[in-house]
Structure 1
Amino acid sequence: MKILLVGHGKMGRLVEALAPEFGFDVAGAIDPQSPMHGGGPDAERWRGVDVAVDFSTPDVVALNAPVLARRGIHLVIGTTGWQKDEPAVREAVGHGGIGAVVAPNFSTGVVLFEAIAGRAAALFAAQSDFGAFVHEAHHAAKKDAPSGTALLLKQTMERAGFARPIDVSSTRAGFIPGTHTIGFDGPAETITLAHAARDRTGFARGALTAAKWVVGKRGWFTMKDVLGLQS
């Protein structure tokens, strides 16, 4: 199978390095800053590509994803911060008859952590003395804050029945790969649950797992679908 890299920064290069392990040949990249750049999403060079993995920037997703989808190229999108353009991308995915896996975080541990957060929020929802919070920390170069994962955790907690305000905060410093913490604070005690990424390998492996899974499927999916966690 052939894979196209949309964005060839740190994550894109890691996906490239691990791709053969998952049975993929790398066709090239859409990234003018990369020596692997082979043109835009409509370039003839991408004919025969099975799936594109996007770790780029929000504006790049809005430009490239609809074109790739209409060409019948499946999508795995790990870029965050492009929610305002989601309706257009969803429409293109439908018209192209392809599958798209969209997730703010492709780490298996984070997907399971989200499920744990929902269960914890459901338990604390009835405890009126407890407030809740989400905190995330990432490297200084990460542009969006709060992270897409932090916002997803907040939404999961709300959907689980936690109706009181949930404070969300962020840290951008140094080289932190990614840490997410949820907490419940009462009059005399605090409960915290955390997920910490030691490096980016887990994200790249998750994206490649999603890329292999989505080929041949149609529709809009998340990592819960990939891992078989959807009810």
Structure 2
Amino acid sequence: MRIILFGHGRMGRLVGVHAADHDGEVVGVITSRSTPEDWAAAAGAGADVVIDFATGEALEANLERLCGLAPTLVLGSTGWGAFEPQARAIAQQHGRGVVAASNFSVGAYLMEAAVRALAPAIESLDDYEPFLHEAHHSKKRDAPSGTALQLLGAMRQAGLTRHVDVSATRAGHIPGTHTVGVDGPTEAVTVTHLVRDRATFAHGALRAARWVQGRTGWYSMKDVLGI
């Protein structure tokens, strides 16, 4: 699997480090400093997939060009939700296969399934107040995170209409922690997903890249994982 990286920050570099674990090889890197010659070289590299861990702004500005680099894309940038309808249209126009996700860790989707199952019970317990807190490193721009919004959306879809207090922390080097809880008069229950190593996101993105080969259309990590 021949890979072009779009963005070469911490996550892009980690994808490169772990590519071989998934029978992958990085054949090109595009960053904000790339020249027209770099783009041309990437277009001629025979890539199977573009893996994006740049920024939402960079993705919006360059998605059309990225579709010219490979038949499939894995989009890991966040903060571009309003652009999604256009992104889907661009991908469809080019006949590309896309996996887009705000979080590529398997555990995040197991947690989503858990809180979705809990939502009806939380709805019925008036004296237990629900909350959602997430924490990430200080350089993460969007708050609350895309994963936090995804968890909240899953609970809403499962029937939770009550107010959920949502909060976020941006500090230090925290890879990522998400907690959904309910606090009652004499007890509390929490469900937490804790990332101990950012490599989990790289492995998830590479898993998605392998899965989307030969496919067209727009997919999520739930499609990749079959949950």
TM-score normalised by the chain length of structure 1: 0.92
Identical counterparts, % of pairs? 47
Question: In the alignment, what sits opposite 1:10?
Answer: 10
Question: In the alignment, what sits opposite 1:223?
Answer: 221
C-alpha change, 1:161 and 1:77, in structure 2 (3 Å) is same
Q: CA deviation at 1:56?
A: 0.7
Q: Classify the secondary structure of the residue corresponding to 2:172.
A: coil
Aligned length: 226
**Are 1:99 and 2:97 matched, yes or no?**
yes
1:212 to 210, 216, 222: 210
Return the letter of the residue paired with 1:93: A
Q: Classify the secondary structure of the residue corresponding to 1:79.
A: coil
Q: Which runs of 5+ in 2 are unaligned?
A: none
- 1:194-217 Cα deviation digits (max 9, x unpaired): 011011011000000000000111
Q: CA deviation at 1:68?
A: 2.1
TM-score normalised by the chain length of structure 2: 0.94
* 8 Å CA contact 1:4, 1:27 repeated in 2: yes
**Runs ≥4 residues deviating over 3 A:** 37-42
Q: CA deviation at 1:129?
A: 2.2
> What is the RMSD of the two structures over their aligned residues, measured on CA atoms?
1.7
Q: Classify the secondary structure of the residue corresponding to 2:124.
A: coil
Question: In the alignment, what sits opposite 1:45?
Answer: 42
- 1:62-84 Cα deviation digits (max 9, x unpaired): 02223222555311111110111
Return the letter of the residue paired with 1:214: V
C-alpha change, 1:132 and 1:214, in structure 2 (3 Å) is same
Question: In the alignment, what sits opposite 1:193?
Answer: 191
Q: Which runs of 5+ in 1 are unaligned?
A: none
Q: Classify the secondary structure of the residue corresponding to 2:73.
A: strand
Give the whole-Å Cα distance in 2 for the aligned partners of 1:72 and 1:141: 29
